[in-house]
Chain A
């Protein structure tokens, strides 16, 4: 396995890239293009299971891979492992293919595709991929938190309704008793609601 390290002379933050490419000329071109940049490249060829070890050891900030590499499935599956933090993945495809694929992945999945390494463009492409990935992550996090809030509201409403029907409380009383229980036990209102729902449903 060939590991080449590119020199980086100046940068605000060094970003480590794992490059998986079986085409040595293209890999060399990329290494050259990124000399004296904030990107620090570790190059490996398609390697099967040892890729997992590489990712584990090197903890790259970004992965650049040939779209035709058999290792793509390993990389794709990493996203299903909780221990693996999401990373931007840049894919190299033949020039004529890249526009089509880029359009399909625009929606913000892990992959960003660009054509054959053009030294003058490569830095800009990596910068853009990174920026887009960060945007996507924050949108995703926002979505998750909105969803959580919505689920919490649904739980609280359900617990309130149960208290109203089974304990003959008014809506206000139900809300206050949930809030009091939450404060007394130091729990969140949705957690208290969950307990109430399961309790009242068992008693019924």
Chain B
């Protein structure tokens, strides 16, 4: 197909296992097939990714699902209206606790083995012990205040009424493993390959995945500013088409190892393949001495069974807004009716892209 524009489209992301659709679209040549010249721009922090997208230094970005909503509502950084034309993945995160804490949980609960998924109530004894001894609270880390990770920690702890008794801080994904070893945190919720990294280093034990907390919910999305959305519909349809094709390619497990290799060769070149591949293959490694757990939907990019999980729907947007409310991130003075009017998740581009994909298959 002829070149769509005479300029390079800059697509920003934070390198993680679930960046696979972006890398796949590039390696499989889907961007080029659609006449797009896409440059993938890895970033070191979610806030800088957000700022660069808001200011137009990046044309599009793979964001944590709550981020475009926070930007549109002006909760964080500048207030810039955004659109989500595509959902890129579901699940993909996990909670890993320090080896030290897991040993304590086992001994305080008189257990020889940790159940998987681990219920948060097993932390109760450790919480009580710290309180009794006048020690600092348990401290977990998430990757960003406006992240599913944050809300997943909240929901997991809430099941056992422990939310008030545990501190939750923010750390960049790449700093998690190191901070766990240094004893700065007792655990974290992060995406791949960072859980597997701590397990391989034998400093952490993965106790459950985000699939066990929220079964099959939106995790990463493609986001653009509303301005870009309004001005570049054709460009966006093609970008979304290329990424849908990548998600489609990633659906069968037979292709997943190739994706792991590509990630290792590009965005995650500092990390070994044995930390990147497992989650993509539906394998949750939990600790060095144990057999991995089967979690088929650990990284989900598309589903041939369900109606497309990639279609950005109002119901998905509502779920996240509810979690933001529960985390007190949206002021009570913002009325529900105003939130109902928000149309950040917008399916028109996705529908047009799917129509074209189907027509091309005829």
Are A70 and B172 within 8 A (Cβ)?
yes
Are B45 and A72 within 8 A (Cβ)?
yes
Q: How far is the CA of A70 from the CA of B51 in the complex (A)?
A: 14
Q: Which residues of A contact B179 (CB under 8 A)?
A: 48-49
Are B169 and A73 within 8 A (Cβ)?
no
A76 within 8 A of B: yes
Are B79 and A49 within 8 A (Cβ)?
no
Within 8 A of A (CB), among B113-156: 141, 143-145
SS of A interface (majority): helix
Are B57 and A101 within 8 A (Cβ)?
yes
B178 within 8 A of A: yes
A52 within 8 A of B: yes
Are B172 and A71 within 8 A (Cβ)?
yes
B76 within 8 A of A: yes
B333 within 8 A of A: yes
Q: Which of the 9-residue segments A3-11, A104-112, A122-130, A165-173 touches chain B? A: A104-112
Q: Which residues of B contact A75 (CB under 8 A)?
A: 47
Cβ contact of A73, chosen from B46, B52, B80, cutoff 8 A: B46
Contact flags B43-84 to A (C-beta < 8 A → 1, else 0):
111111001101111000000000000000000111110000
Interface size on A, as a range, is 20 to 34
B175 within 8 A of A: yes
Are A48 and B78 within 8 A (Cβ)?
no
Cβ contact of B333, chosen from A48, A110, A151, cutoff 8 A: A151
Cβ contact of B174, chosen from A70, A103, A107, cutoff 8 A: A70
A191 within 8 A of B: no
B184 within 8 A of A: yes
Q: How far is the CA of A67 from the CA of B57 in the complex (A)?
A: 13
Residue of A at shortest CB range from B142? A77
Are A49 and B184 within 8 A (Cβ)?
yes
Identify the A interface with B (CB < 8 A).
48-50, 52, 67-77, 80, 97, 100-101, 103-105, 107, 109-111, 147, 151
Identify the B interface with A (CB < 8 A).
43-48, 51-52, 54-57, 76-80, 141, 143-145, 169-172, 174-175, 178-179, 182, 184-185, 329, 333
Q: List 18 A-B contacts (CB under 8 A).
A: A49-B185, A72-B48, A73-B45, A73-B46, A74-B171, A75-B47, A76-B170, A77-B145, A77-B169, A80-B145, A80-B329, A100-B57, A101-B52, A104-B51, A104-B55, A104-B78, A105-B77, A111-B77
